């Protein structure tokens, strides 16, 4: 018999939040193909490829390269990520994993005395170009060079800035006094003037870089002239990446984490992403409760969601890392294990996070990613999340090549053995080692029903990513919310430590917040993620695309 949720609750309200809404109500309903991303030119680049007969993987590759031009805060060729692929009427879903790796010269304690996260030392070996090429090799339909053509055109001829991107560029340029190449490439007149919406950003050096990749394939990046430029940049700034590091980098085709939830199939990335395991574990826990007995925003519903998050993120810290370096237990996504975790939830009181892992010693107290979703006329779907880590990554632009490098090395547990209540995690599975892939929270997710795509979603947001996806899954799968409402809905987050509930609805759901406080939760406001998503109507087969209004974006289809 399923346990029912009982009444409860209350919270210490530290902040308040109202989502920022950009642009119009961007919902698109089409039948033949759809791309939803943070950038209108990026979505249009993918749509162009779909209209030319490309499949969803082709369109995803075109979108990814276009975002490297039109969304430099996170779109990239100097970072890495995960692509979840649901083939149409064919093989099983797969994940193309192209996470960055630690250079051979990296050491476990290289950041033990602290590091800003910016600059050359923070750069991991990039995986994006190799990953997109692997996806094309396995699933692509159109020629490789055709898929880069929209991005090359956008870089060479320029594109018009919208207000959010103009504001973002002005902000990073103003803060980049130590990075003159970033100021030269991304500043208006080298930073002397401020960008305005409607200005045209032209990136000739990036166009030349993309042209080389189009003509010579990924080896241009990992062995050729671009590799030489990256290594020269590393030497100039004290970075660790060598030609050998670049030459030895490999992307992987991996089996996705597969779970089921109330009759739906869930596909999400495996380690070195924590996203799939944590998402499936949380859904498995929630399956033990009759959520629909209570309102979506009731304290009963939110309390159980928080407790599921708390337990999954505790296991994330305890067990998850690069599977080539860390043995990951098989039981984490089992229904039986989830039942045991569910039975440990007190429906009237918050669990203290530190009580979940008394064996992990606590030290004294002391984003930027982007996601896009694609589906083609045959029902092939792609959920892709990739990143530079922080917004604009390391702030290092490769001189003469026009692109930013990541700062993914700080995604390792950089303080070995230091885990504290403030949220620093120092557990062994994600500590730095040469050639190791840092743990990620990226969760590009595809939900299927009866063998057909039902929902494509994902988000940026560091450790909040997994919970953004969970929120959307609960809203759509449990509460039958339409996709526009589910994407707009306030999001909830808990990550074990700090032991704080973060909730976008602190103003709009004040009574629920008050009841959560009575249960022992501490709650703060937050702005969480941007989930550019697609829902497929199983009755009509129509594709519904929704761009998240927390940021700019576009759903482009036909």
Average of pLDDT values for 145-171? Answer: 97
Average of pLDDT values for 202-209? Answer: 98
Q: What are phi and psi of 440, to 5 degrees?
A: -120, 160
Look at residue 354 in the predicted model and tell me its pLDDT. Answer: 92
Asked whether residue 138 carries a pLDDT value surpassing 60, the answer given is yes
Residue 462 is part of a domain; what is its CATH number? 3.60.20.40
Asked whether residue 103 carries a pLDDT value surpassing 50, the answer given is yes
Asked whether residue 101 carries a pLDDT value surpassing 80, the answer given is yes
Last residue of a domain, one of 408, 430, 452: 430
395 with 357, same domain? no
Q: Cite the beta strand spans of 359-515 per DSSP E.
A: 368-375, 381-389, 445-449, 452-457, 492-493, 501-503
Assign 533 a pLDDT band (cuts: 50, 70, 90). Answer: very high
pLDDT (tens digit, 9 = 90+) per residue, 482-524?
999 999 999 999 999 999 999 999 999 999 999 999 999 999 9
Of the ranges 118-132, 277-291, 365-379, which one carries the lowest mean pLDDT score? Answer: 365-379
pLDDT (tens digit, 9 = 90+) per residue, 181-200?
999 999 999 999 999 999 99
Please give the Cα distance from 276 to 263 (Å, whole number). 18
Asked whether residue 367 carries a pLDDT value surpassing 90, the answer given is no
Asked if 85 and 135 touch (Cβ cutoff 8 Å), the reply is: yes
Look at residue 116 in the predicted model and tell me its pLDDT. Answer: 86
426 with 448, same domain? no
193 with 235, same domain? yes
* Assigned domain for 111 exists: yes
Look at residue 113 in the predicted model and tell me its pLDDT. Answer: 84
Query: In degrees to the nearest 10, what's the CA dihedral of 34, 26, 546, 305?
Result: 170
* Assigned domain for 268 exists: no
Radius of gyration from C-alpha coordinates of the chain: 22
Look at residue 25 in the predicted model and tell me its pLDDT. Answer: 55
* Assigned domain for 238 exists: yes
Assign 365 a pLDDT band (cuts: 50, 70, 90). Answer: very low
Last residue of a domain, one of 377, 407, 430: 430
- 223 lies in which domain range? 30-253+368-430
399 with 540, same domain? no
Q: How many domains does the chain have?
A: 2
Average of pLDDT values for 261-282? Answer: 98
* Assigned domain for 503 exists: yes
Residues belonging to the active site: 369
Please give the Cα distance from 16 to 218 (Å, whole number). 46
Assign 252 a pLDDT band (cuts: 50, 70, 90). Answer: very high
Asked whether residue 363 carries a pLDDT value surpassing 70, the answer given is no
Asked whether residue 212 carries a pLDDT value surpassing 70, the answer given is yes
* Assigned domain for 124 exists: yes
45 with 115, same domain? yes
């Amino acid at each position: 018999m399923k346990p029912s949720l009982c009444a409860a609750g209350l919270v210490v309200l530290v902040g308040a939040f109202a989502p920022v809404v950009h642009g119009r109500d961007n919902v698109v309903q089409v039948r033949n193909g759809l791309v939803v991303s943070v950038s209108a030119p990026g979505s249009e680049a993918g749509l162009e490829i779909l209209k030319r007969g490309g499949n969803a993987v082709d369109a995803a590759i075109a979108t990814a390269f276009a975002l490297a031009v039109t969304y430099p805060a996170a779109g990239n060729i100097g970072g890495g990520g995960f692509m979840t692929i649901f083939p149409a009427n064919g093989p099983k879903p797969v994940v193309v994993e192209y996470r960055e790796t630690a250079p051979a010269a990296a050491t476990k304690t290289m950041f033990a005395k602290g590091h800003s996260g910016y600059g050359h030392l923070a750069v991991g070996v990039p995986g994006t170009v190799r990953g997109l090429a692997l996806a094309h090799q396995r699933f692509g339909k159109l020629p490789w060079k055709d898929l880069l053509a929209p991005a090359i055109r956008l870089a060479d001829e320029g594109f018009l800035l919208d207000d959010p991107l103009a504001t973002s560029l002005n902000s990073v340029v103003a803060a980049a006094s130590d990075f003159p190449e970033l100021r030269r490439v991304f500043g208006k007149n080298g930073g002397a003037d401020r960008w305005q919406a409607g200005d045209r950003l032209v990136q000739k050096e990036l166009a030349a870089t993309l042209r080389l990749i189009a003509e010579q394939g990924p080896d241009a990046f990992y062995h050729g002239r671009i590799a030489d430029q990256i290594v020269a940049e590393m030497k100039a700034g004290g970075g660790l990446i060598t030609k050998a590091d670049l030459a030895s980098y490999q992307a992987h085709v991996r089996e996705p984490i597969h779970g089921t939830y109330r009759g739906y199939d869930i596909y999400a990335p495996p380690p070195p992403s924590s996203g799939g395991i944590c998402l499936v574990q949380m859904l498995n826990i929630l399956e033990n409760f009759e959520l629909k007995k209570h309102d979506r925003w009731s304290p009963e519903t939110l309390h159980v969601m928080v407790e599921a998050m708390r337990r999954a993120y505790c296991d994330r810290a305890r067990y998850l890392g690069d599977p080539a370096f860390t043995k990951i237990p098989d039981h984490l996504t089992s229904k039986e294990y989830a039942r045991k975790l569910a039975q440990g939830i007190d429906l009237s009181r918050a669990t203290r996070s530190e009580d979940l892992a008394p064996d992990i010693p606590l030290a004294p107290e002391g984003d930027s990613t982007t996601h896009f979703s694609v589906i083609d006329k045959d029902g092939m779907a792609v959920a892709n999340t990739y990143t530079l880590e922080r917004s604009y990554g390391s702030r290092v632009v490769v001189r003469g090549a026009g692109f930013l490098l990541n700062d993914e090395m700080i995604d390792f547990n950089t303080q070995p053995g230091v885990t504290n209540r403030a949220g620093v995690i120092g557990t062994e599975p994600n500590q730095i080692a040469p050639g190791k892939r840092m743990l990620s929270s990226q969760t590009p997710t595809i939900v299927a029903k009866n063998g057909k795509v039902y929902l494509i979603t994902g988000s940026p947001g560091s450790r909040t990513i997994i919970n953004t996806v969970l929120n959307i899954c609960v809203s759509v799968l449990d509460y039958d919310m339409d996709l526009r409402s589910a994407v707009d809905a306030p999001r909830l987050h808990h990550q074990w430590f700090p032991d704080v509930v973060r909730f976008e609805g602190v103003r709009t759901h004040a009574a629920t917040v008050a009841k959560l406080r009575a249960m022992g939760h501490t709650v703060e406001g937050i702005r969480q993620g941007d989930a550019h998503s697609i829902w497929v109507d199983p009755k009509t087969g129509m594709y519904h695309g929704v761009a998240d209004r927390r940021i700019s974006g576009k759903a482009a289809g036909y």
